[in-house]
């Protein structure tokens, strides 16, 4: 089959002849011829020489920078030590100050606790004193009092017009069997106290340990207040015991049986509730307040 072989060889020769792309062939055809004495490998050689020089330079620069850094660190080391020493000293100082302040706080807390204990003790003493004063205020007449008691009424004989400068009030000494005198009223007040009365008032005037019943001219004074008949004596206490003691007392019998005494010369009644006002503040002659 000589014809077939000839055609096959022709095709192979054509493929071998046109193995490159037509564009490559055109580029190869249009490229200027190389200059004499210049080779393609010279550029690559120069590039290799630069690379061989750049590597040592880079290593050299790296070494220099490293040495410079180490040197600077060595130079800065004393300053760092000084800073560390200063910071350590400041820390120690502040720690000592903190310890001192903590000790001061403990002392202050202890002092505050002591003051609070004293305050509580003072408050307890104040409460006790206040309660005691409150308990003694009513018996002393410094506070109003209320409770069961009696009412004792003393009546004078019928008399003329009220006493004045031209018509003086007759007294028991001047007129036997006449009007009640200051000592009669004082005897009845003392009788009430001895019968167990806890508080007494005459015509609304509260009596205290410093109150006196006395005559001032023709007037009868209870404390500093003048009182007139009929004399009403209110007393707080055990009403049954007071009535029993007063009714049988010699002074009561005397006032009821005196000459010219009216039938109601002395009357006494039990009361379920008696209210007595507080007395005026006393004028102390010797005692002084503890704060003065």
Higher pLDDT, 291 or 256: 256
List the one residue out of 71, 148, 173, 142 whose CA is nearest residue 284: 142
User: In terms of pTM, does the model score above 0.75?
Assistant: no
Query: Of the ranges 18-22, 48-52, 55-59, which is most confident?
Result: 55-59
Q: Which pLDDT tens digit goes with each residue over 135-186?
A: 888 878 888 999 999 999 999 875 444 444 444 444 444 444 568 899 999 9
Q: What is the Cα–Cα distance from 98 to 92, expressed in whole angstroms?
A: 10
Q: What is the Cα–Cα distance from 211 to 282, expressed in whole angstroms?
A: 9
Confidence category of residue 76, pLDDT binned at 50, 70, 90: low
Q: What is the Cα–Cα distance from 188 to 231, expressed in whole angstroms?
A: 10
**Taking the CB of residue 143, how many other CB atoms lie within 10 A of it?**
18
Q: Take residue 135 and report the two structure tokens written for it.
A: 């308990």
Please state the length of the chain: 292
Helix H or strand E encompassing 234: strand 231-236
Largest CA distance in the chain: 201
Query: Residue 12: is it exposed, middle or buried by C-beta count within 10 angstroms (0-12/13-18/19+)?
Result: exposed
Q: Take residue 264 and report the two structure tokens written for it.
A: 């109601």
Scan for tokens 């007449």, then name that residue: 141
Q: Which pLDDT tens digit goes with each residue over 1-14?
A: 555 444 445 555 66
pLDDT at 238 > cutoff 70: yes
List the one residue out of 176, 151, 160, 200 whose CA is nearest residue 254: 176
What is the per-residue pLDDT for 85? 78
Higher pLDDT, 5 or 207: 207
For the segment 221-249, the average pLDDT, to the nearest whole number, is 93
């Amino acid at each position: 089959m000589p014809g077939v072989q000839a055609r096959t060889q022709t095709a192979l020769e054509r493929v071998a002849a046109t193995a490159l792309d037509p564009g490559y062939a055109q580029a190869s055809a249009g490229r200027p011829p190389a200059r004499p004495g210049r080779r393609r490998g010279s550029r690559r050689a120069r590039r290799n020489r630069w690379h061989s020089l750049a590597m040592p330079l880079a290593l050299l620069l790296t070494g220099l920078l490293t040495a410079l850094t180490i040197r600077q660190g060595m130079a800065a080391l004393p300053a760092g030590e000084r800073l560390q020493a200063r910071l350590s000293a400041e820390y120690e100082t502040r720690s000592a100050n903190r310890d001192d302040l903590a000790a001061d706080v403990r002392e202050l807390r202890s002092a505050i606790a002591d003051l609070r204990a004293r305050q509580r003790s003072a408050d307890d003493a104040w409460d006790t004193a206040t309660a005691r004063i409150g308990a003694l205020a009513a018996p002393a007449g410094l506070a109003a009092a209320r409770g069961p008691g009696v009412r004792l009424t003393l009546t004078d004989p019928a008399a003329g017009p009220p006493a004045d400068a031209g018509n003086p009030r007759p007294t028991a000494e001047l007129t036997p069997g006449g009007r009640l005198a200051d000592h009669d009223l004082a005897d009845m007040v003392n009788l009430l106290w001895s019968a167990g009365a806890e508080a007494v008032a005459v015509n609304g005037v509260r009596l205290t340990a410093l109150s006196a019943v006395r005559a001032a001219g023709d007037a009868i004074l209870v404390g500093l207040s003048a009182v007139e008949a009929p004399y009403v004596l209110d007393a707080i206490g055990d009403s049954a015991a007071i009535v029993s003691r007063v009714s049988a007392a010699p002074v009561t019998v005397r006032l009821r049986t005196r000459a010219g005494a009216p039938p109601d010369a002395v009357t006494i009644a039990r009361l379920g509730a008696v209210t007595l006002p507080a007395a005026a503040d006393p004028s102390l002659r010797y005692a002084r307040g503890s704060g003065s």
